[in-house]
Amino acid sequence: MKLVKILGFVLLGIIVLIGSIIAYVKTALPNVGEPEELTIEITPERIARGKYLAHSVTVCMDCHAVRDWSKFSGPPTEGTLGKGGDRFDQNAGLPGVYYAKNITPFGIKRYTDGELFRVITTGVTKEGRAMFPLMPYPYYGRMDREDIYDIIAYIRSLEPIESTIPESVSDFPMNIIINTIPQPANFQSKPDTTDQLAYGAYLSNAAACIECHTQVDKGQIIKEQAYSGGREFQFPNGAVVRSANLTQDAESGIGKWTREQFIERFKQYADSAYTIPSTGPNDFNTPMPWTMYAHMSENDLSAIYTYLKTVKPISNTVVKFSPAADASAK
């Protein structure tokens, strides 16, 4: 009986400890500091740089617009820039249901510049809630402060669009774990654009290339497989597309690609003669926003290529697309 009583006390202690940890995580976290007192001057220069970043590098408008999936690569629908509303859920392997917010002046009017700066770079909202890093804020928190200022200036200049976006909800246990994810930002100075390797690393981080081009486990990338591709993205009809291997493996990656081939792979979608083709239910399609990245400057694309040349080769042959019929048969 004495042993049973001791085991009972031990079990009670464990329960109390677990409860205390959960209570701490739910009430004391996230802890990234208070929003800064910021007033960002909205100048034509800031708006232009911010637009370039938001459309062609960080591609904010990839998620925060209504994408037309009847066309290749789902280009943003005219008149919906910043509207938000895209849904990301368990069908995409995520631990909950998450929505892209309205980032036009209608959606962010209650935010100060400092609060916007904090949510973009740490994932903590005005109310102090933690966001799931579907928006890759850990990467934005490693950008140059000035680039984030420019993005804020740009989205402040957008045409306001009224829309009601549902609240994102995490499944258990992510609804507890999520509070541990936001960390204080670790800002970096933007390298000189002539330093192609350092600048390419900076741009690759800003574009969060590693996120889509690395397989995940419970929504978190598997770092040992960095850039080797194979991450699955499921379309509503059941078709599955998988990201390409960007490592220097000569057979399954881009080890044999020249700089010119890499740049042309993007720039073909910016050619004035290019017309975005329509796609049917079983036609190849991809969430890769080619028509947005296509407008990145050749110097910036060249810098990314230079950085990717330093990524270690990983052999991973990717089956890029499974039509809905094939996917449902598995």
**Residue at a domain's end among 157, 190, 223:** 190
- Could you tell me the CA-to-CA distances from 1 to 7, 10, 13, 57 in Å, in that order? 10, 14, 18, 67
**Residue at a domain's end among 190, 225, 256:** 190
Q: Does 166 share its domain with 76?
A: yes
Examine the pLDDT at 3 and tell me if it is beyond 90.
no
pLDDT band for position 198 (cuts 50, 70, 90):
very high
pTM: 0.91
- Does 7 reside within a domain? no
Examine the pLDDT at 15 and tell me if it is beyond 80.
no
Q: Does 147 share its domain with 53?
A: yes
Cβ–Cβ under 8 Å, residues 35 and 114: yes
- Quote the CA–CA distance of 229 and 302 in Å, as a whole number: 20
- Does 252 reside within a domain? yes
Examine the pLDDT at 328 and tell me if it is beyond 60.
no
- Quote the CA–CA distance of 51 and 81 in Å, as a whole number: 11
Among 15-19, 22-26, 33-37, 176-180, whose mean pLDDT is lowest? 22-26
Q: What is the dihedral of CA 194, 308, 311, 181, to 10 degrees?
A: 90
- Does 281 reside within a domain? yes
Q: Give the pairing of strands 232-234 and 220-221.
A: unpaired
Cβ–Cβ under 8 Å, residues 295 and 270: yes
pLDDT band for position 24 (cuts 50, 70, 90):
very low
Domains of the chain: total: 2
Q: What pLDDT, in 10s, does the model give residues 229-271?
A: 999 998 878 899 999 999 999 999 999 999 999 999 999 999 8
Query: Residue 173: which domain range?
Result: 31-190
Computed over every residue of the chain, the mean pLDDT equals: 91
**Residue at a domain's end among 123, 157, 190:** 190
Cβ–Cβ under 8 Å, residues 56 and 270: no
- Does 311 reside within a domain? yes
Q: Does 132 share its domain with 170?
A: yes
